Structure 1
Amino acid sequence: MYNQAMVIGKFYPPHAGHAHLVTTAAAQSGKVAVLVLGSRFESITVEERVKWLAAEFDDVDGVEIIGMRNDCPEDYHSDEIWKAQTELMRLALKSHGVTSIDAVFSSEEYGDRLAAVFGAEHVLVDPSRSAYPISGTLCREDLGASWPHIIAPARQEMATRIVVVGSESTGTTTLTKALTEHYRPRFPGIADVPEYGRQFTYEKFDTLRSVVPDAGIQDMVWTAEDFSVIGARQNEMENAAADVCPLVIADTDSLATTLWERYYLGEGSYGSYHAADVLPRRDLYLLTDHEGVAFEDDGWREGEHRRAEMTEWFKEALTAEGHSWILVTGDHDRRLKTAIETIDLIVAQRSGFTSPPWASRSSVARPALEGAAA
């Protein structure tokens, strides 16, 4: 057992190979300092990477995640750059009370030289990447194919989340399904995230009819607890979709649930508000306009006269919460076009990784990644 080990990397983004490296170090060391060295020229901040890794290793004793800004060039042939780089590492460790290192765990050729600088032993871990055929380079070049290999906390925040909301019978489900099918060829793993409240309504009504056989929809009595369950489950469904695909298109969310609770129970009911307080990060709301859409009564709807009021509630809530939202209006094709034009730009922005010109590239073969992902 080593007393104090060190693992360094950009973790841009953190993936299963990184996790294997840290886990291996933790199994052989009393303590492991994981140095996250991120540059201002990269599009994921050091703070984000530290947060994701800390969540991943929260239950692993002895692992400490340390972030350090590193805008120094990379040049493995320059003694001067080596000194500049290693001094950043030394000070990052020193600032967290780590003054000596027994072992450097890495999968890189430079590990021997790095360990020598710290007077430590180099422990080489899976240099061929055969155990986990993934690299930061492959993740950045093809986020969709690499998605299963990125650590779970990172997937939750890196996913692009599009949420479709609107008052009754305004085409939210139609638009959500059309968008999901549009993006499925590009994102085969994209998951359906339906409106859980509708399923809950069906089940609640079936329960009522088992007791009162001739009960109608108007006889249903809603409670704050009902909306608490709906909001929490909607979050779970959305997060499950983010876990399997970098693009999530959801038919409503827990913020919308708070408005439906207000609709049915009035201003004083807050059963669903906890779910909205832990709302996953999102990129865009698409609010379906009630104007120009005929109200279709499928036997479960009763709010035609309040559609305009409800649409205004959505506008107010989304604005007050500081969310990005677009009122999608016009016929279905126009709405779909508006949505796709914006989503395409967001996806490109969210999946683009910037790097400084001196950034090194890992050499894991792409066929190995594709075989692992399959």
Structure 2
Amino acid sequence: MKRYGHGLVLGKFYPPHAGHHHLVRTAADRCERLTVLVCASSVESIPLRERVHWMEEVHQDVRVVGAVDDIPVDLDDPAVWDAHMAVFREAVTRPVDAVFTSEPYGDELARRFGAEHICVDLDRTLFPVSGTAVRKDPVGCWDFLEKPARAWLTRRVVVLGAESTGTTTMARALAEHYQRRGGPWSGTRWVPECGRDYSAGKLASLREKWPEAQWEDVEFTSDEFPVIARRQNRRENRAARSGSPVLFCDTDSFATTVWHERYIGGRNPLVDEIADRVTHHLWLLTDHEGVAFEDDGLRDGEELRPWMTQRFRDELTRTGRTFVELTGPHEQRLATAVAAVDALIDEGWDLADPLPTPCGRGGTPMPERR
């Protein structure tokens, strides 16, 4: 099989899927060096830098570059071709020996690069998926996505509330509910509360020095809360890469801002900043009413539960976060939560279409598969 010095794979990768990755791996096997050019338009919902990073992670042995290409597609217009090629050549300055595509336009693209065209799986028999299909139905295409794309597309749902209001019970119950749906949902995960593990560690460390120590003897500093918030974000990011299209979180870094008020008083701007670094899509607030307080050795704030519930409610409202309150017995709360999550999923992902192909000029649409 002929090998090439420098190969090129070009596409939108919006988002990258199994067909894209097969194309890149095939090209990498046949080239001494391979460049993957990610072209994104400014109207698209997934930022160019994200797609470049995703491709770099999955294909660590190739060079990945990005370019903004806001030129409409018209394969029958030489002037449009020239404009696209100017973008391509600015991003890929090294001579190209082979262009690998799964598209009918590959011959012309390769000719303009002065290269040979290698067509890979033109009929999409190995991986029957397209970028259009993924954007329209991420759930149905979930098995065709790699970890970084999954993490970005995962809908993150947070269960938060005052002490002993059932956040852990609810997060676990929701994960089990969606796991039972099977298919892409079978891998649904929930993320435990990092602050609780951190607190247990502080108490254990104190007892090494003072065996009789109790929870009320543990003291926090403001500087510890950014540490907790960052760890919570990292836990979520790891879980989102290997789960289903929905991830349930037992509290989040946003909730840590209120826990800071509860233990320290006032706000820590750094915690607020960390909370805004991760995108969540829905919050489920567990009401304290009707839930018995259980002292498990890491709680001492039964009298503060009404205040905390209200603080969560106020902060969720002030920051414009979408939330639903869970009240009543557990079965009622679970039913309310499932209905809210289903509504979130039914809304879809609302990913913008790529730039349209000009109409009325005989333009042939560039295939969306790659």
User: TM > 0.5 between the two?
Assistant: yes
- Residue type of the partner of 1:66? A
The question of whether the paired residues in 1 share the 8 Å contact of 2:66 and 2:91 is answered with no
Instruction: Please state if 1:112 is matched with 2:107.
Output: yes
1:110 and 1:126 mapped to 2: Cα distance?
A: 14
Instruction: Please state if 1:164 is matched with 2:177.
Output: no
Query: What is the match of residue 361 of structure 2?
Result: none
5+ residue gaps, structure 2, are 358-364
* Secondary structure of 1:213's aligned partner: coil
Query: What is the match of residue 319 of structure 1?
Result: 317
| Percent of aligned positions that are identical | 39
1:163, CA displacement in angstroms?
A: 0.6
Q: Among 37, 47, 50, which residue is 1:34 paired with?
A: 37
Query: What is the match of residue 178 of structure 2?
Result: 183
Query: What is the match of residue 275 of structure 2?
Result: 276
* Secondary structure of 2:320's aligned partner: coil
2:304 and 2:295 mapped to 1: Cα distance?
A: 14
2:267 and 2:194 mapped to 1: Cα distance?
A: 23
* Secondary structure of 1:55's aligned partner: helix
Q: Among 329, 332, 338, which residue is 2:336 paired with?
A: 338
Relative distance call for 1:324 and 1:70 in structure 2 (3 A) is farther
Deviations 1:43-82, CA, capped at 9 Å, x for gaps: xx53515232221255777532123346657xxxxx73x6
- Residue type of the partner of 2:247? V
Query: What is the match of residue 264 of structure 1?
Result: 263
- Residue type of the partner of 2:282? L
Query: What is the match of residue 192 of structure 2?
Result: 194
Relative distance call for 1:35 and 1:206 in structure 2 (3 A) is closer
1:348, CA displacement in angstroms?
A: 2.5
Q: Which deviates further from its counterpart, 317-326 or 15-24? A: 15-24
* Secondary structure of 1:7's aligned partner: strand
Q: Which deviates further from its counterpart, 205-214 or 248-257? A: 205-214
- Residue type of the partner of 1:67? V
Query: What is the match of residue 64 of structure 1?
Result: 65
1:275, CA displacement in angstroms?
A: 3.5
* Secondary structure of 2:49's aligned partner: helix
Residues 163-242 of structure 1 mapped to structure 2, 5 A cutoff: 163-186=158-181, 187-242=185-240
The question of whether the paired residues in 1 share the 8 Å contact of 2:156 and 2:280 is answered with yes
1:190 and 1:21 mapped to 2: Cα distance?
A: 29
2:312 and 2:49 mapped to 1: Cα distance?
A: 32
1:315 and 1:231 mapped to 2: Cα distance?
A: 19
1:359 and 1:86 mapped to 2: Cα distance?
A: 12
- What TM-score does the superposition give when structure 2 sets the normalisation length? 0.77
1:91, CA displacement in angstroms?
A: 4.9
1:12 and 1:268 mapped to 2: Cα distance?
A: 39
Aligned residues: 350
Query: What is the match of residue 9 of structure 1?
Result: 11
* Secondary structure of 1:249's aligned partner: strand
RMSD between aligned alpha carbons? 3.8
1:283, CA displacement in angstroms?
A: 0.8
Deviations 1:82-115, CA, capped at 9 Å, x for gaps: 6586356335436758698654221334422432
The question of whether the paired residues in 2 share the 8 Å contact of 1:6 and 1:101 is answered with yes
- Residue type of the partner of 2:256? T
- Residue type of the partner of 1:182? H
Q: Which deviates further from its counterpart, 249-258 or 285-294? A: 285-294
The question of whether the paired residues in 1 share the 8 Å contact of 2:215 and 2:300 is answered with no
1:264, CA displacement in angstroms?
A: 1.0
Relative distance call for 1:35 and 1:296 in structure 2 (3 A) is closer
1:208, CA displacement in angstroms?
A: 1.9
